[in-house]
Structure 1
Amino acid sequence: MAAETEWAPAEGALRETWRLARGWYGDAPLVAWGLTAAAVALTLTLLQIALSYAFSDWQRNAFDALDQRDAAAFQGQLGWFVALTGLSMAVAVGRLCARQVLGFLWRRWLVLKLQGAMLINHRHYRMEMGEGGVDNPDQRIGENTRWATIMTVDLALGLLHSVALFACFAGLLWHLSGTLAVTIGGTTIGVPGSMLLAAALYSGLGALVVWRVGRAMPRIHLDRNQAEADHRFALLRIREHAEGIALIRGAADEERGLARAYGRVEGAMLRLLRSERQLMWLGAGYMAVAGVLPLLLGAPRFFAGAITLGVLMQMTQAFVEVTRALSWFVENWPRLADWRGHVVRVVELERACEAADGAAGQPGIAIAPGPALRLSGLNLGTAGGRALVLDAEITLRPGERVLVTGESGSGKSTLFRAIAGIWPWGQGRIAVPDRTATLFMPQRPYLPLGSLHAALAYPAAPDTFGQADAAAALRRCRLGALVPQLDQVARWDRVLSLGEQQRLAFARLLLHRPRWVFMDEATSALDEANQAAMFALFEAELAGAALLSIGHRPGLDRYHDRVLALRPGPDGARLEPVAAAASLWPVEAFRRGGAWDGISAAGRNPLNVRRRLPSAG
C-alpha cells in the first residue's frame, strides 16, 4: 500500500518542472531549443497576430455590410473569410505539430533517464526493499511522465498564446472603448479604456472564485493517481500469482481486496467529480456572460449613434479575446491541478532513486576488488535495524568450493546479497574478485521476456553465443527437449517448471564460463539425480571455477571442499566451520557413453575423492 505522499505547493511544482526541463535542454540542446523556438515562434508569430487582427477587421466589415444591406460587400467578405480560415488552419496545425514533437521527445528523454536512474547501482532492488522507496514506479514512469511533460508543454504554450492574444487585442479594445464618463459627487471623471478595465475586473473575479472553489483539486488528483496505481498493482499481483491463488482457492479474498482497492479509487473520483461540478457552475456561464457584457456596456454608444454595428461587434470580439487571455487560469485550473499531481509523483521517484544511493552509503559495507573473495568482520542486518549475521569471516580461494548452511532465517540469503553488492545494511569489508568473471545464481532464476535463446544468454545479448553452443548447453543440462524451441518467444518463467528453470541457469553457466560462481539454493527444486549432474559440471567443463554455495538441503556437503554453518545467537548468527563430508559423489558415475543421464546405484566414490582444503575461514 502506498504511503502518504508529501504535498508540494504550486511554486515547488513549477520549480521542479523547470529543473526537469533544464536537464533535457542540457542533454539535447540543439533538438530541445530548436523545437522550443519553433513552437514559441508559431505561437507568438507576427502572422498569428496579423491573423487575429484580420479576423477582427473581417467581423467589423461583415457586420457593417449586413447593417447597410450591401450584399456585394458581404459576399466579398465571405471570400476573404475562406482565405483567412485556410491560413489560420495551417498555422494552427504547425503549432500543434511543434507542440506534439516537443512533448514527445521530452517525455522520451525523461522516461529513459528515470529508467536508467532506477536500474543503476541496484537502486530498483533497494527501493523494493522499502528503503527510500515509492509506490508503483511503473505507473510513475509509464503514465505520470506522459502528463508531466506533454501537459507542461500544452500549458506553457497555451499561456504564451494567451499572452499573444492579450497583446493583440488589449490595444484594440482600449482604442474602441473610448472614454467612459463617470460622475462622482457632482464631479465627472473620464475613464479611458473602460472596456479593457471591465475585462480585467471580470477575469480577476472569475480567477478568485475558481481558486476558492477548486483549491482542493490538486490534492484530490494526487490521491486519485495513487489510488489508481494501487488498484492496478493489485490486479498485476493476481496475474503474477494466478497459480498460487487458484491452488489455495483465494479468489474470494482477492475479490474483496480488489473491491477495497477500487473503493479508494471511487472515493477520490467522487471528490474530484464534486469539485468539477462546482467549477462547472462557474464555467458554464463565464464565457457566455463575457460575450454579452460588452454588448450591454457598448449599447448606449451604439444607440446614440457614436459607433456602428460593425464597431460594436468588433469591440465585443476584442472583449471576449482579452477576457479569454486573462482567464487562462480560470479555464485551465482543473488541468493545472492534475498536472501538479503528475509532477509530484515523477519528482518523488527521482528523489527515491537518489535516496537509495544515500541508504547504500550509510551502513558502511566497504566493497573493494581483490584476487579472491574475502569477508572481514562483516555484520549484516535488516533495513529496520535487526541484526542477522555477526562478524562473518570467509575466504574463497580460486578453484575452491565452499558451502554455507544454516537454518531458515539465519541470514544465508542476506549474505549472498551482500557478496553480490546489493545489500547495503551492515558494516565490514568485502573483497570481491573481478565482477566480469562472476555469476550469481539465485533460487529462482530470472528469465527475461523474449526467446529461449535470449533467456539462456542473459545478461549477454543473444547473438553472443551461437545456436550450436546454446543447444549443446541445453543437452548437457538435461534439457535437450527444449533445443527446437530456442528461437521461440514465450513467458519461459511460466512455461518451465522451477526445476527446469534451475537447470536452464546451469546451462547459462556453461555458456558464460565464469571463474567465480555464487549459488543460493540453486538446486532446491532438483531431484538427487539432476542435482548431482549439475554439480558434476564443476568436475568437467567448469573445473577450476571457485564455488560458494548457500543452502541447507542434506547432502550438499559432498559436492564441496568445506562447510561453514551459520549458528543463530542473540546478537546475530555466526559462521562456524563444520566437519567435512564423509564421501563425495564421483564425477565418473554420471558419464555413460559421454552423456550425463544417471547416478551410480551404489552412490559411492570408488575413483577419486576431491582434495579437501582446511576448514578454517
Structure 2
Amino acid sequence: MRGFWGLMRAYWLSDRWKEAWGMTLAIAVLTAVSSKMGVWWAEYSAELVNSIAYFHSPHNAAPLQHLLTAAGMLVLVTLGKDVGVVGIRHLFSTTLHRKWRGWLNGQFNEALLDDNHTHFHLQHEGKDVGLARPAPDNIDQRVQDSIKQMTGGAIGLAMGVLGVVTSLYFVGMKLIETSTVVGGFEFLGIYGSAILAFAAIVAYVPLNTFIALKLGGILERLTISIQQAEGTYRGELTTFLRRSFQVAASGGETVQRQMHARLYQDIDRTWSKLNIFYSGYQSFELIYNFLGARIVAYSPLLLPYMQGSIGLKSYITGAELINSLIGQFSWIIRVMPEIANLKANARRVTDLAEAIENVQAPAEFYRSTGRSDFQFNRKEDVFALTVRKLELLHEGESAEPFVVAEELRFLPGEWTFVQGESGCGKTSFMKAVNGLWPHGAGEITVMNGLRVFYAAQDVKLPKLTLKELVCLPETDDLHSDARVAAALHKAGLGEFIEHMASYSRESRSWDDTLSGGQKQKLVLARILLHRPGILFLDEATGALDPSAKIAYHQAIKDGCPKVTVVSVMHEAHAPRSGTGTPFYDSVIRFVDGVAVKEALALRTGADLKLVSSQAKPMAV
C-alpha cells in the first residue's frame, strides 16, 4: 500500500474481495440505470414543455390530458431516479465507504501495533530534518480523518467516472438517434446536429476543466497546510490537558493562552486563504453552470430548429440531453474541491504507509541518521543478561558516545541498583538494553526462556477494565479472576478487587481514578501476575513513600524469587528490607559516561556502601 494505486486497490484484492466487488457491482448497475433514466427525464421534460407550448393549438384534441400525462411521467421518472435509484445507490456507496475505511483503518492499526514496535520507531526519528526524514506529523489525524475522507472521496470520484461513461453511452446514443441534417453543414450528413452537439461540449468543457485543475492544485496544498496546522493545535491541547495540574500549580495559564493563540494563527491564516479560493471557485462554477445549461446546451440545435428541421419537442429534448452530458462531463469541475481533498488525504495516508514500511527494519532505518549496530541474542547461558561493548549515541554521524559499558553480566536472581546523577544516561541505558534506543552499538544477550518486563516511571492507563489493565500485555482471558485478585492484594490494591470487571469507578476512568503511586502498584500487580525472568525498574517507585517502596521490593522478592532485577532509583543508597536485609547484590555507577558494575557489601547495620570506589567491573 505504499503507492496511491496500491492503496486504492488493496481492499478489492484482500480476503474481503467478495464484499468489496459485490457492492461495487451494485453501484455500477445503479449508476447505469440512473444514466438511462436521465435520458427518460430529458424526453418527458421536453414533452411537458411541448404540451405547454401547444396547449391552445387547434390540432391538440386533449391539451389538459397531454399536459397532466407529461407532468405525471416527469414526476414519476424524477422520483424513481432520485429517490429509488440514487437513494439506494447512496446506501450502497456509504456502506462501501464504511467497510473500506474500517478495513484500511484495521490494516494501519495492525502495522503500527506489530511486534516490531513500529509505532515507537515511527515517532522516534526525524526530529532534526537536516539529518533524517521528518517523522510523520499527526499520525492520529492521518489514520482517522485522512483515511475517512480519502476513501469517501475515492468512491465519489469512481462514481463520477462511471456516470460519465454510462451517460456518454445512453445520452450519446439518443443524440445520434435523433440527429438530423443541418443547413450549411450538409457535408456532415444526418449526423450533423449530433456532431454539432458533441463539438460544443468538447469546446466548452476541457478548457474550463483545465482551469479547475489548476485551482484544485492550490486547494490541495492549502488543505494539507490546514490539516498540519489543526493537527499541531489539537496535539498541543491534548498535551495541555494531560498536564493541566502542572499548569494550574505554576499559574502558567497566561503562557499557555499565548501558545494556543500562536498555534491557532497558523490555522486562521490558512483558513482565510482557503475561504478566498473556495469563494472564487464557487463563483467560477456558478458561471460555468449557467453558461453550460442555458447557452452552450441550447446553441447547437438552435440552427436546425430555426431552419425547421426539428420541432420544439425535439429541440428541447436535444438541449436537455446536451445539458445532461455537459453536467456529467463537468463532474471534475463540480467536485474539484473534493478531488483536492482526496489528493491531499491520499498523500498523507501514502506517506504514512511509506514511513511504516521504512521502519520495518529499525537498525537499517536508524543507520540513515547515525550509527546503529546493536545485536540482540537469545541463547543458553549461565547469565540471565549480558551486555558487551555498549556505546550509546545521539542522532548524527559525528556523534560521540555519552554512555559506554565494556561488559556487564547479571546472574539469575541477582538484583542490581543503577546509580548516577540526573542526565548521566541511566534511562537511556535501560532503553538500549530493551531495544528501544536508536543509535549506538553493543551486544545484548538474554538467557533462553526468560521473559523480560520493563516498568517505567510514568504509567498511562488505557480505557480497559481493571482486570485487563493488570493482565497487560496479555489478554484477560488467559488469567483467572482469582490470580488477578491475588496479585492486586499483594500489590496493595485489595480495595479495588470488587471492581475488576469495571472500566471506571464513579464515572471516572482508572487513569483518572488511581493516583501516581497506585498506578505504580498496579504495575507491581502485573509483575506479580506474570513473574518475569528479568525485570527492569526505571524509577518505577518514584511516586511511593519510603515504606511503600520497601513493600514494593519485598512483594517482588517474595512473589518472584528467581527474577533478575535491574533498577534505576533516585536514592543515594540501595534500599533494604524492614529487617535490614539488603535487596540488591550489586550496583552500576555512571562515572563520566562509563557504566561500572560493582558488588555491594554491608558496611554497617544502617547503610549499604560500595566496596571500593576504585573497584573494577564485576566478572560474575
Short-chain TM bin: 0.7 to 0.9
**1:34 lines up with 2:48 in the alignment:** no
Percent sequence identity over aligned pairs: 24
Change (3 A) 1:107 1:392: farther
CA contact (8 A) 1:162 1:324 kept: no
Q: Aligned to 1:195, which of 176, 194, 197? A: 197
2:124 aligns to what? 129
1:96 aligns to what? 90
Q: How does 1:169-180 map to 2 (within 5 A)?
A: 169-174=171-176, 176=178, 178-180=180-182
SS at match of 1:364: strand
1:589 aligns to what? none
CA contact (8 A) 2:181 2:309 kept: no
Q: Aligned to 2:586, which of 533, 548, 562? A: 562
2:251 aligns to what? 249
Change (3 A) 1:386 1:73: farther
1:87 aligns to what? 80
Q: Output the amino acid matched with 2:310.
A: I
Question: Gaps (5+ residues) in structure 2?
Answer: 56-62, 127-132, 576-581, 609-616
Q: Distance in 1 between the 2:602 and 2:373 partners? A: 40
Q: Distance in 2 between the 1:97 and 1:16 partners? A: 29
Q: Aligned to 2:385, which of 366, 373, 396? A: 373
CA contact (8 A) 1:510 1:541 kept: yes
**1:17 lines up with 2:4 in the alignment:** yes
Deviation of 1:317 (Å): 0.5
1:336 aligns to what? 339
2:40 aligns to what? 54
Q: Output the amino acid matched with 1:567.
A: V
Change (3 A) 1:125 1:435: farther
Q: Distance in 1 between the 2:274 and 2:421 partners? A: 52
2:208 aligns to what? 206
1:156 aligns to what? 158
1:599 aligns to what? none
1:360 aligns to what? 363
Deviation per CA, 1:343-371: give whole Å up to 9, x if none. 11111211222222344333121112124
Q: Distance in 2 between the 1:534 and 1:234 partners? A: 35
Q: How does 1:279-298 map to 2 (within 5 A)?
A: 279-293=281-295, 294-298=297-301
Change (3 A) 1:256 1:567: same
SS at match of 2:567: strand
**1:312 lines up with 2:315 in the alignment:** yes
Change (3 A) 1:270 1:436: farther
Q: Distance in 1 between the 2:5 and 2:28 partners? A: 17
Q: Output the amino acid matched with 1:95.
A: R
SS at match of 2:457: coil
1:66 aligns to what? 52
CA contact (8 A) 2:34 2:86 kept: no
Q: Distance in 2 between the 1:344 and 1:49 partners? A: 32
Q: Output the amino acid matched with 2:555.
A: L
Change (3 A) 1:392 1:249: farther
Deviation per CA, 1:201-244: give whole Å up to 9, x if none. 11123213323444311111111111111111111111111111
Q: Distance in 2 between the 1:249 and 1:466 partners? A: 47
Question: Gaps (5+ residues) in structure 1?
Answer: 1-12, 585-601, 606-613
Change (3 A) 1:271 1:360: same
Deviation per CA, 1:121-145: give whole Å up to 9, x if none. 1121222323452111111111101
Aligned length: 570
**1:275 lines up with 2:308 in the alignment:** no
SS at match of 1:559: coil
Q: Distance in 2 between the 1:151 and 1:459 partners? A: 38
Q: Which segment is superposed worse, 551-560 or 111-120?
A: 551-560
CA contact (8 A) 1:64 1:308 kept: no
2:58 aligns to what? none
Change (3 A) 1:245 1:434: farther
CA contact (8 A) 1:399 1:543 kept: yes
Q: Which segment is superposed worse, 219-228 or 80-89?
A: 80-89
Q: Distance in 2 between the 1:616 and 1:476 partners? A: 35
CA contact (8 A) 1:118 1:353 kept: yes
Change (3 A) 1:373 1:579: closer
Change (3 A) 1:577 1:75: closer
Deviation of 1:459 (Å): 1.7
**1:511 lines up with 2:529 in the alignment:** yes
Q: Output the amino acid matched with 1:339.
A: L
Change (3 A) 1:123 1:386: farther
Q: Distance in 2 between the 1:317 and 1:428 partners? A: 76
CA contact (8 A) 1:563 1:580 kept: yes
CA contact (8 A) 2:573 2:607 kept: no
Q: Distance in 2 between the 1:229 and 1:271 partners? A: 18
Change (3 A) 1:538 1:79: closer
TM normalised by structure 1 equals: 0.86
Q: Which segment is superposed worse, 278-287 or 84-93?
A: 84-93
SS at match of 1:73: helix
CA contact (8 A) 1:379 1:391 kept: yes
1:428 aligns to what? 442
Change (3 A) 1:443 1:225: same
Q: Distance in 2 between the 1:211 and 1:52 partners? A: 27
1:464 aligns to what? 478
Deviation of 1:388 (Å): 2.5
CA contact (8 A) 2:304 2:310 kept: yes
CA contact (8 A) 2:419 2:590 kept: yes
CA contact (8 A) 1:290 1:319 kept: no
Q: Which segment is superposed worse, 230-239 or 72-81?
A: 72-81
Q: Distance in 1 between the 2:496 and 2:313 partners? A: 82
Q: Distance in 2 between the 1:142 and 1:148 partners? A: 10
SS at match of 1:263: helix
Change (3 A) 1:581 1:231: same
CA contact (8 A) 1:173 1:196 kept: no
Deviation per CA, 1:119-170: give whole Å up to 9, x if none. 2211212223234521111111111010111111111112211221222222
CA contact (8 A) 2:182 2:304 kept: no
CA contact (8 A) 1:419 1:432 kept: no
Q: Aligned to 2:225, which of 223, 226, 229? A: 223
2:611 aligns to what? none
1:596 aligns to what? none
1:524 aligns to what? 542
Q: Distance in 2 between the 1:556 and 1:26 partners? A: 59
Q: Distance in 1 between the 2:38 and 2:343 partners? A: 32
CA contact (8 A) 1:538 1:544 kept: no
CA contact (8 A) 2:216 2:339 kept: no
Deviation of 1:389 (Å): 1.8
Change (3 A) 1:31 1:399: same
TM normalised by structure 2 equals: 0.86
1:43 aligns to what? 31
Deviation per CA, 1:464-507: give whole Å up to 9, x if none. 33333333323322333333443332333332222222122112
Deviation of 1:304 (Å): 3.9
CA contact (8 A) 2:587 2:599 kept: yes
Deviation of 1:106 (Å): 1.3
Q: Output the amino acid matched with 1:367.
A: F
Q: Distance in 1 between the 2:183 and 2:304 partners? A: 12
Q: Aligned to 2:602, which of 560, 566, 582? A: 582
Q: Which segment is superposed worse, 311-320 or 525-534?
A: 525-534
Deviation per CA, 1:426-473: give whole Å up to 9, x if none. 212111245772221111234222222222222222343333333332
Q: Distance in 2 between the 1:213 and 1:29 partners? A: 36
Q: Output the amino acid matched with 1:130.
A: E
CA contact (8 A) 2:52 2:67 kept: yes
SS at match of 1:211: helix
Q: Distance in 2 between the 1:387 and 1:180 partners? A: 86
